[in-house]
Structure 1
């Protein structure tokens, strides 16, 4: 969190987090990794010996998540991703990680103005009539501000925190080194830890790339154009050029009225419409376009009183390869229609597994798992529990899921809470069917 501390002190964007801070990260990262790994490994070993691997105490899971939160932005983002790796971690830990958000104090107004001047490439007064240096949103990677252009257009200005890219890069190098060592231990041997951390590290590093985020906003907006009621802010055509985004400045549309409305404030009709609209959008971009917005927590998805939805922050949008898109789409379809045998075939075609595995036994257990959830309403269907069952089944048979198969699950898992809060009786499998059928049977 060095960059946050420096920002509070009002440091300049050039000196807010110097290279001298990086050696200190070695100690922070080492303490965090060893402390978390030792605590989880000990409890996990006990749970494994007693036959209750997923029975990690909830209080312990929350304590681990808190420790990772304090370690800085890299660990917050990695924890969010690890929250979906039920094939690697206990369910309670995944639940704690999936609820971990990186709401941290904003940089000082003085630093924000200095960052804007440094990254804009022009005097701010020649572009902005007003720039409010008090952030409207603040995360571990960036802060967002409201501003007005000279022509009166309201815009949102996203500024990457000073020096955060060096902190993240150093953390990821240390994590890669540490994971390579842990992968040789008896606890981790045989697990795809190195590959999983590598892919997650790429996802974390990608959230620093505002050029990619600008492109994702355009891509999401275009993909969602046919879904009425969803709005995605577009990058400003003249100010979101690569020269500025590469320096950590992203200017985009300002969406007014963004706040978290409770279901009671929205009312039943608006809540139902907003949930169905949002989920339709998620299904459309996932099953038809192969796009996964992996960060749709309540701070990035806003149901509005008129039943529409505002979807923001495209820093963690994954484009699935065609094979992965089609595999997950068919898995979801076969799960919804109760075809557990085909679900098993899809999993076996995308996962790694040892020679001599009992495919027949795995298939029989998959059939039973799918039968237990077919046709369930959102109020009755616990995605986390289903995913835990799926990955526990894979673990027993020595299978390791392809990380690309995990990202779609992440996108839906993060959104699941909104379904249960706003529209508990929704049959989300039924809502998915038109998109699944189009993707699998009518798309050319």
Structure 2
């Protein structure tokens, strides 16, 4: 059973911020309307509903703050005004005692930090709902950042998640509107995110993968810097990485003072995003300004620096092809193709009428093309498409929702750096080049190279496999039957040819006799 004291605290906070009014106003039912009028007597809310929900979650603590952050990504399920307020939630959490952090490090790595490191700053540099970060120096002189999991998180999360599941089940039973919001699905998604973030080894592996992706080619290495993972000092509760120095991407004045080219920086941000999504199928999915820095060192000036790898997204080859073709169809205003892609993907029922879906997509996209390019938001177009797709029973894929949330972050960040950024114009050449590489000669060559290893193993075995297959009793029996049928067919054909030859001979003889007789 969940804690009734915790439930009572939640009810008090809900009453304080008038969340009862928010819930009742969202239910379309006569009794809900009458009850709403009753609870509003003398207590009309003074703050917008999104602001009240954000303040309530901040009051309830770090787990509910994290839940609000995850909920803000589900803009296909919740109203836009609430989603925008929840996106403002920040992990403003007091640090836990440094002695506790040191004890966690000692338990995880087998020695106290004073022994493991040449120098360890007991004062944390940053503190969030899940972990806090300390700077340190290795014995070989390298500067590192040590991320330490907040103690007792598993127990706290287990209790709060149990309570959230109970509340989600209650909301679902309220009616069709409650079921449409899919509260239990949202809580399950939150559970997955939290469990991923609570395992710092998983975050370290995400960091290592992203670093490898952007280190393979010089051109890509000049776009993004990812810290090196110090695996000897990593555990499920401790993550040690190379220390990164730079300027937070939202500190525009400092970036200009460092002579960073803002337009180029905005363009590179878009290129990094599309490279992660379409080339790698693996992308940093928490790209808010607190996690993205810009290098101000002379040798790497203007390069992005990625931090915090707890939430990443991944896409299959099918997802990548589907998304790329959709984006290109948008750019070309080919709304029929967009509708066809939705139907071909199986994300809408097969009986969906193509022309109806095309009309709905046109109604979403066409108004944006008539605006100045600086006012067009690709993220908002996708959001409107998600909302429109409800009437066609489109199944929104979780990985695409995460992608849409990240795209909104990237677009907002890019517009802050360069208000004239044209995301459409920046992305279109990249996507066209990517599609050509996928379906053109170079794409065929790359796929042949990928399969060459398998072919090298299979080709030498083909004669033996063919012989073994032909030598099987059932195969021999089938071949004998086929040979028997072929012989019968040949005999019939020979008879037919004999008759035809006789007929032709007779006809030829008659023709010659007729000619001679004349």
What is the TM-score normalised by the length of structure 2?
Answer: 0.72
Equivalence map 1:271-420=2 (5 Å): 271-305=262-296, 306-348=301-343, 360-374=355-369, 379-383=374-378, 385-420=380-415
Q: Is the 8 A contact 1:87 1:400 kept in 2?
A: no
1:260-285 deviation per Cα after TM superposition (whole angstroms, max 9, x unaligned): 56323322852222222222111101
Equivalence map 1:77-96=2 (5 Å): 77-96=66-85
1:91-136 deviation per Cα after TM superposition (whole angstroms, max 9, x unaligned): 1011111222213111122322222223221232332111111111
- Shift in Å at residue 301 of structure 1? 0.6
**Structure 1 residues 269 and 128, CA, compared in 2 at 3 Å: closer, same or farther?**
closer
Q: Is the 8 A contact 2:269 2:410 kept in 1?
A: no
Q: Select which of 180, 205, 208 maps to 1:215.
A: 205
Equivalence map 1:200-211=2 (5 Å): 200-211=190-201
Q: Select which of 170, 185, 203 maps to 1:195.
A: 185
Larger Rg: 2
**Structure 1 residues 37 and 59, CA, compared in 2 at 3 Å: closer, same or farther?**
closer
Q: Which moved more, 1:33-42 or 1:267-276?
A: 33-42
- What residue is the counterpart of 1:176 in the other structure? 165
Unaligned stretches of 5+ residues in structure 2: 34-44, 444-518
Unaligned stretches of 5+ residues in structure 1: 1-19, 51-55
**Structure 1 residues 384 and 189, CA, compared in 2 at 3 Å: closer, same or farther?**
same
Q: Select which of 135, 141, 153 maps to 1:146.
A: 135
2:149 is aligned with 1:160: yes
- Shift in Å at residue 190 of structure 1? 4.3
1-structure distance, mates of 2:110, 2:46: 52
Q: Select which of 244, 263, 285 maps to 1:255.
A: 244
- What residue is the counterpart of 1:76 in the other structure? 65
- What residue is the counterpart of 2:449 in the other structure? none
**Structure 1 residues 92 and 438, CA, compared in 2 at 3 Å: closer, same or farther?**
same
2-structure distance, mates of 1:395, 1:33: 30
**Structure 1 residues 87 and 58, CA, compared in 2 at 3 Å: closer, same or farther?**
farther
1-structure distance, mates of 2:274, 2:46: 34
1-structure distance, mates of 2:212, 2:408: 24
1-structure distance, mates of 2:349, 2:178: 16
- Shift in Å at residue 376 of structure 1? 6.9
2-structure distance, mates of 1:377, 1:308: 29
Q: Is the 8 A contact 1:379 1:424 kept in 2?
A: yes
**Structure 1 residues 419 and 70, CA, compared in 2 at 3 Å: closer, same or farther?**
same
- What residue is the counterpart of 1:437 in the other structure? 432
2-structure distance, mates of 1:180, 1:219: 38
2-structure distance, mates of 1:234, 1:343: 41
2:22 is aligned with 1:40: yes
Question: Larger RCO: Structure 1 or Structure 2 (Cα < 8 Å, ≥ 6 residues apart)?
Answer: 1
Equivalence map 1:265-276=2 (5 Å): 265-267=254-256, 270-276=261-267
Counting helix residues as a fraction of each chain, which structure ranks higher? Answer: 2
Equivalence map 1:112-151=2 (5 Å): 112-151=101-140
2-structure distance, mates of 1:337, 1:355: 25
Q: Is the 8 A contact 1:105 1:138 kept in 2?
A: yes
- Shift in Å at residue 147 of structure 1? 0.3
**Structure 1 residues 111 and 264, CA, compared in 2 at 3 Å: closer, same or farther?**
same
**Structure 1 residues 185 and 213, CA, compared in 2 at 3 Å: closer, same or farther?**
same
Q: Which moved more, 1:380-389 or 1:230-239?
A: 380-389
2-structure distance, mates of 1:438, 1:416: 21
2-structure distance, mates of 1:45, 1:379: 38
Count of matched residue positions in the alignment of Structure 1 and Structure 2: 415
- Three-state SS of the structure 1 residue aligned to 2:305 is strand
Q: Is the 8 A contact 1:206 1:212 kept in 2?
A: yes
What is the TM-score normalised by the length of structure 1?
Answer: 0.83
1:282-333 deviation per Cα after TM superposition (whole angstroms, max 9, x unaligned): 1101111112322111100113443221111100012223333332333223
